[in-house]
């Protein structure tokens, strides 16, 4: 029963009805063979009762009526008179005996011939069944042998269909990206036309708008939707709860400004992309268009409570970055906070999967490098926190200990952990620096 249950578990549920039908047919075939064997083993009457031939011979010898009696005159005459009186009955009995013997002879002969023919038929059926069974086995073996080939052909055809679908999906993705870029470009051009600038300036504005819209579409595609960005930045809000005013450098679409506004924190932003600046202003956000370092240099010393920049510093050349850190230290009041979020190049996944994908990235910033530059700019309390950890199921898995020598087990898992720390470290980090 256990083996049967195991076999049932190995069969796909869709094949269970077919397997049940096959088992029923095999059972019927086995029953038919068993019936043939039972009939073939049953001997005909002459074999079950060999004395029947002797009894039939005795009947054939005794069935004839006796001759008329002879003898002396007196005794013979009496016997003859008796014979004459009984002879009609004797003759009738003789005819009955003759008919019965002929019937028995015919029946025995017919039964013998029928038994011989039945034996021949059963023998022929048995030989045919013996031929059919190997043929059925050969057919099954042939099908089993063909199964890999048929499966390969099916998978090959399925693979071709998937490849064709993949090409169509790739085409749709390209079309989606192009449509998104065109949509941003049209939105930017519409905003430029509404500004009613003179023709030469309008042309230059249209050119800048087209370039900005392409990058906006890129950010929409790879950074995520507004809701996703807000969700990732929501835990920064508490850091700035009592630090108004806050300056968001490179504020983009204004997700963090919206979060600060909802928390009652006074904040403004600066952004170089004219398209998103217009959208931020349409949403009621205080956003200036221009260079973030220029705006920072215009801030009065100690006038800011917090400075925030998410995915910005990796776009800056080193001289601009060092100037930004120095100006941030100058413009923050004592106790003010600088928060810089960027890609973690110490993570192979972060570097290959995020950093090099964006052509506007200037150079990767190792966490220790950014920490050193912040400390050199005068910040007293500088620390690094990792963000965006890689899910465990996407990392390398530890080797199970079963069957391995302890030293081999420890060495393998030490190497796995080192590889995970290198390949799948968190893809982002944040610098937290206090004035």
Residue 412: its pLDDT value, please? 85
Omega cis (within 30) before 342: no
Residue 364 sits at φ, ψ, to 5 deg, of -70, 150
Q: Which of the listed residues 113, 147, 181 is the one where a domain comes to its end?
A: 147
Which residues does 140 contact at the CB level (< 8 Å), separation at least 6? Answer: none
The verdict on residue 168 lying in a domain is no
Asked if 267 and 247 count as a contact pair (C-beta separation under 8 A), the reply is yes
How confident is the chain (435 residues) per 10-residue block, as mean pLDDT?
Answer: 48 72 79 74 63 70 66 64 76 74 74 75 73 64 57 67 65 54 54 53 52 54 78 95 96 95 96 90 95 95 97 94 97 97 91 83 92 94 92 85 78 88 91 95
Q: What is the DSSP letter of 252?
A: T
Burial of 351 (0-12, 13-18, 19+ CB in 10 A): middle
CA distance 252 to 374: 23
The residue with tokens 């031929």 is: 131
- Domain ranges, residue 300: 291-434
Residue 136: its pLDDT value, please? 63
Looking at the DSSP assignment, which residues form a beta bridge with residue 332?
304
DSSP states of 16-39 as a string?
Answer: HHHHHHHHHHHHHHHHHHHHHHHH
Q: Encode pLDDT of 134-192 as tens digits.
A: 666 665 665 555 555 656 666 677 667 777 666 666 555 555 555 555 555 555 555 55
What CATH number is associated with residue 430? 3.40.50.150
The verdict on residue 188 lying in a domain is no
Number of domains in the chain: 2
Q: Are strands 381-387 and 267-271 parallel, antiparallel or unpaired?
A: unpaired
DSSP states of 352-369 as a string?
Answer: HHTGGG-TT------HHH
Q: Which of 336, 424, 411, 330 is CA-nearest to residue 377? A: 330
CA distance 183 to 279: 14
CA distance 104 to 99: 9
Residue 6: its pLDDT value, please? 44
The verdict on residue 372 lying in a domain is yes
CA distance 410 to 401: 9
Give the count of beta carbons closer than 10 Å to the beta carbon of residue 409: 16
The verdict on residue 13 lying in a domain is no
Q: Which of 278, 280, 289 is CA-nearest to residue 256? A: 280
Helix/strand/coil for 243: coil
The verdict on residue 271 lying in a domain is no
CA distance 409 to 303: 58
CA distance 58 to 337: 132
What DSSP element (H or E) covers 420? helix 406-423
Residue 195: its pLDDT value, please? 52
The verdict on residue 200 lying in a domain is no
CA distance 339 to 344: 15
250 to 269, 307, 374: CA distances (angstroms): 7, 11, 19
Residue 335 sits at φ, ψ, to 5 deg, of 90, -5
The verdict on residue 87 lying in a domain is yes
Q: Which of the listed residues 131, 147, 163 is the one where a domain comes to its end?
A: 147
Q: Are strands 381-387 and 428-434 parallel, antiparallel or unpaired?
A: antiparallel
CA distance 348 to 425: 8
Q: Hey, which bits of 141-265 come out as E strands?
A: 246-249
Residue 239: its pLDDT value, please? 96
Q: End-to-end alpha-carbon separation of the chain, Å?
A: 76
Indicate the pTM of the whole model.
0.52
CA distance 370 to 386: 13
The tokens of 167 are what? 């090409």
Q: Which of the listed residues 102, 127, 147 is the one where a domain comes to its end?
A: 147
The verdict on residue 270 lying in a domain is no
Q: Hey, which bits of 137-266 come out as E strands?
A: 246-249
What is the rounded radius of gyration, in angstroms, for the C-alpha atoms of the chain? 52
């Amino acid at each position: 029963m256990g083996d049967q249950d195991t076999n049932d578990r190995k069969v796909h549920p869709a094949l269970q009805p077919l397997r049940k039908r096959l088992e029923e047919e095999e059972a019927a075939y086995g029953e038919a063979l068993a019936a043939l064997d039972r009939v073939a083993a049953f001997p005909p009457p002459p074999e079950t009762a060999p004395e029947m031939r002797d009894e039939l011979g005795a009947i054939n010898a005794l069935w004839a009526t006796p001759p008329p009696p002879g003898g002396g005159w007196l005794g013979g005459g009496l016997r003859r008179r008796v014979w004459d009186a009984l002879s009609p009955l004797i003759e009738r009995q003789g005819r009955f005996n003759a008919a019965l013997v002929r019937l028995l002879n015919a029946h025995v002969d017919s039964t013998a011939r029928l038994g011989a023919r039945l034996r021949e038929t059963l023998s022929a059926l048995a030989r045919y069944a013996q031929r059919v069974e190997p043929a059925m086995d050969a057919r099954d073996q042939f099908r089993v042998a063909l199964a890999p080939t048929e499966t390969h052909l099916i998978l090959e055809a399925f693979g071709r269909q998937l490849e064709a679908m993949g090409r169509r999906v790739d085409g749709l993705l390209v079309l989606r990206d192009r449509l998104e870029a065109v949509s941003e470009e049209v939105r930017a051009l519409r905003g430029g036309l509404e500004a009613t600038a003179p023709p030469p300036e309008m042309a230059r504005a249209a050119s800048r708008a087209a370039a900005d819209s392409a990058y906006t579409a890129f950010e929409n595609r790879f950074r995520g939707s507004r809701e996703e960005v807000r969700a990732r930045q929501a835990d920064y809000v508490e850091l700035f709860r009592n630090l108004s005013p806050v300056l968001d450098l490179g504020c983009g679409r204004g997700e963090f400004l919206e979060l600060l506004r909802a928390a009652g924190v006074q904040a403004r932003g600066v952004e170089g992309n004219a398209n998103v600046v217009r959208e931020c202003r349409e949403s009621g956000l205080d956003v200036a268009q221009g260079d973030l370092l220029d705006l920072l240099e215009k801030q009065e010393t100690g006038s800011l409570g917090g400075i925030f920049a998410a995915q910005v510093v990796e776009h800056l050349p080193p001289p601009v970055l060092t100037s930004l850190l120095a100006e941030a230290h100058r413009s923050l009041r004592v106790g003010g906070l600088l928060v810089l979020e960027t890609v973690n190049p110490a993570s192979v996944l972060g570097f290959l999967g995020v950093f090099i994908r964006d052509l506007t990235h200037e150079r990767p910033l190792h966490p220790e490098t950014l920490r050193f530059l912040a400390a050199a700019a005068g910040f007293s309390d500088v620390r690094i926190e990792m963000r965006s950890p890689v899910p465990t199921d996407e990392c390398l898995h530890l080797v199970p200990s079963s069957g391995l020598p302890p030293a081999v087990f420890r060495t393998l898992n030490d190497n796995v952990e080192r590889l995970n720390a290198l390949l799948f470290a968190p893809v982002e980090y944040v610098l937290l620096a206090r004035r």
